[in-house]
Structure formats: structure tokens, C-alpha cells
Amino acid sequence: MSGPVLPTRTFGHSSCHHGELLQGVFRDSERRLCRGLVTLPVFGPGVNAEFLPEPDTSPESLRVEPDTKTKAAAAAVLACAECARHARSAPCGGRIRLTSTVPLGVGMGSSTSDVIAVVRAVAAGFGVSLPWHTIAAIAVRAEGASDPLMLEDSALLFAQREGRVLERFGRGLPRMVVVGCLTGGGSTVDTLRLPSCGQREEDVRLFQRLRGLLRRAVAESDVELLGRVSTESARHNQRVLPKPELEILERIAGRVGAVGVQVAHSGNVAGLLFDPDSPGVRTRLRECVRALDHHGIPFSRLFRTYPVPRGGQPVWTPTSPTRSAVRA
């Protein structure tokens, strides 16, 4: 083995997501049933990890700040061992500091964001680049399930309890503008305590149909079809994590011309989906925020799912938590 890792600070980052567009039970390539999901990425909020290696110490001595980040700490120990193996170096401990702007416990993947940022920081410290499936395996071992935040290149169906891709849809999601909000008063949800979404044959057929429609929506960049898939998935999830506000959100969507709604299937964040190229979108975004306020549903953020060309004129500011994001 080579010498110990030098005590140089290294960094890792992870973005988060805004709940799911589709979540349920699906068949894999071998026809086995497994849980899977398609997340809605959101850029802006995220987690930064700073790693300071300490040579001649054991990975088990790693210290993570804040010390409440127990899943990230478990991932750090696993990552140190894995990175040392890849680097053919002696494993070591160290200190890791996390800073996050991801809301906790509302279904935006805060735990997975912590874990991925930590793994990336540790990998940088060892001078290695871990493949996505190794990061996913560490995340599943550390937290019991993982969102696909280590994969940002295309839309995909991901088996969150197994850390594997069930299907890549070949390209990114259709362009959308999302008006985010909080259901359930923004209370936190323990993801791993939620009941299963069910494995009845009728449920499996439903999810298979939605999977096919989502595949078509991505292939054809059809945001309206994607909105229908997301809305139907949100309705089905009422059996797992009921959201009393869902009916109101659907009524608002119909009134302001949104293409559908999406929810965190294991949290309380939700969103109304808009086609950015539809006529009068600025006005309808403002109407949507006002309607949420009228019904007492907290508005959380306004964001787009795609970059604005340099020099372009965005009609919103991405991931802003304040109503100043909605401008004429």
C-alpha cells in the first residue's frame, strides 16, 4: 500500500430533488417486483461536505459535524474503506463538516444529499472517482434507501431500496416550471416507516402503464403527458401518505392552467407543473401562488427544470423561497 493520505481539505457537493413524478412497484428486466421511483430534480438547494483527512487514524474515528448526521457518518466510514481500496492506500479517519440548504424531512432527499456529498468529499481526499453504482451501494447501506442523486444526466427509474437503475429513459425530462408548496403544514416524515405502496397485481399493472406513458412523455418532450402521469401517481399515493390538500391542488392546477401536480411520495413537499412555453405563463404563475395563499397552503419555491440560455430572460428566479420570485 502507498503512504497515508495527505491532510489536504477536499470537498464534495450534492443537489437534491423535489419529490417524485412517479413512484410505485415495477418489474425489473428479470420480471421481479421491486420498488422504484422517478424524482424531480431541483437545482439550487444542496449539501456541501468538507473533508480533512487525518493520517494514521482509523475510519471508525471519523467525526462528522453536525453530529446529528448519523447516516452521513455511516457513509463516511464506508466511503473511506472503499476509497482506500480503490486508491490502494491505507484507510484513515478525519473530520467532515456538512453545510446544507436542503429542508429536512419533507421529501427532498436531504439524507441522500448528505451521504453523496460526504462520499464525494472523501473520494476527492483519496484522489479517486467512484462509479455511481458504488456510491449508490454505500448510500443504501448507510440509510436503507437512496434517491438517484448521484445520477444527473438523464431521466430514469431507480430502485431506491436496491440502489440500481431499472430503466433509463434516454434523455432529460421535458422542460417545466414548478410552483412548489408544502402540504401537511410542512411536518417531517420518517420515510422508512411508511407502508408499502402495495404489490397487488392491479397496482403493478397501473404502475407499468404509467411507466410506459412516462417513457413516451420523455421521448416526445410532452410535458402535458408527464403532468398526467405525475398527477395519477400522486393520487395513488394517497393510500400510503394521504395529503388532504391534494384535491385542492388539483383544482388550482385546473384553474390556472398547470399541466399537473407532483408530490413527494414520502414527504410533504408538492408542486404544480407548468409548460414554460404556454401562453401567459407569467400571469398564471402569479395566479397559482395567490391561489395557494388563499387556501392556506405555504408556497415554498419557484423553479425551472432546465437552464436558461446565457443572456436569456427567465420569467422566474430559480429555487427562490420567497414570493419575490414571481415577477411580471
Q: At residue 95, what is the residue type?
A: R
Neighbours of 159 (CB within 10 A): 21
Residue 21's SS3 state is: strand
Our count of domains for the chain comes to: 2
Q: Which residues contact 129 (CB under 8 A, 6 or more apart)?
A: 123
Domain identity same for 177 and 315:
yes
Domain identity same for 152 and 178:
no
CATH code of the domain in which 222 resides: 3.30.70.890
pLDDT of residue 82: 96
Domain identity same for 156 and 175:
no
Distance CA(160)–CA(212), nearest Å, equals: 19
pLDDT of residue 326: 37
Domain identity same for 224 and 93:
no
Which of residues 165, 184, 206 is at a domain's end? 165
pLDDT, tens digit (0-9, with 9 covering 90-100), for 2-26: 544 456 899 999 999 999 999 999 9
CATH code of the domain in which 17 resides: 3.30.230.10
pLDDT of residue 144: 94
Distance CA(174)–CA(220), nearest Å, equals: 8
Distance CA(144)–CA(158), nearest Å, equals: 14
Domain identity same for 176 and 321:
yes
CA dihedral angle for residue 289, residue 293, residue 295, residue 298, rounded to 10 degrees: 90
Three cell numbers written together for 13: 457537493
pLDDT of residue 284: 98
The overall average pLDDT reported for the chain is: 89
The two beta strands, 10-27 and 164-168, are unpaired
pLDDT of residue 99: 98
- DSSP structure string for 237-275: GGGTS--TTHHHHHHHHHHHT-SEEEE-TTSSEEEEEE-
The arithmetic mean of pLDDT across residues 256-278, rounded, is: 96
Three cell numbers written together for 196: 408499502
Distance CA(244)–CA(251), nearest Å, equals: 13
Domain membership of residue 254 as a residue range: 169-325
